[in-house]
Amino acid sequence: MPGSLRRDTVTEEVASERIERLAELAREAVQDGDEERARRYVRRARRIAERNRLRLPRTFVRRTCDRCDVYLVPGANARVRLQDGHVVTTCDCGEHHRYPYDA
Ligand SMILES: [Zn+2]
């Protein structure tokens, strides 16, 4: 049915926008020094993705910590270094995130 297909697309767009907005709020919260607030935004965004069966944007995955759910802001609560063509981000909780530099 074209009708339901269209509605799903709109729902998906709205959900994606909310996830992006929550990521922005999470980053601001970290910059304000309020990591607990950042974690709440990150968890909310993950729930939205789950409920709507959306894949989280790659940038969101890379900028959030799998272990403590905080939003990673280099210079505030994360350190970033390059190693063997990979970007390695280290969260304040000790968790490392590693991904190819050019991807
Ligand atoms: Zn962490």
One pLDDT digit (tens) per residue for the chain, 103 residues:
455 555 678 889 999 999 999 999 999 999 999 999 999 999 999 999 999 999 999 999 999 999 999 999 999 999 999 999 999 999 999 999 999 987 5
Question: Measuring CA to CA, which residue among 73, 63, 62, 66 is closest to residue 32?
Answer: 73
85: left (phi over 0), alpha (psi -120 to 50) or beta: left
Q: What is the pLDDT of residue 102?
A: 73
- What is the whole-number distance in angstroms between the Cα of residue 61 and the centre of ligand 1? 12
What global pTM score does this model have? 0.87
Q: What is the pLDDT of residue 9?
A: 86
- What is the whole-number distance in angstroms between the Cα of residue 43 and the centre of ligand 1? 13
Report the SS3 class of residue 92.
coil
- What is the whole-number distance in angstroms between the Cα of residue 90 and the centre of ligand 1? 8
Radius of gyration of the chain (CA): 15
Q: What is the pLDDT of residue 10?
A: 87
Tell me the domain boundaries of the chain: 2-100
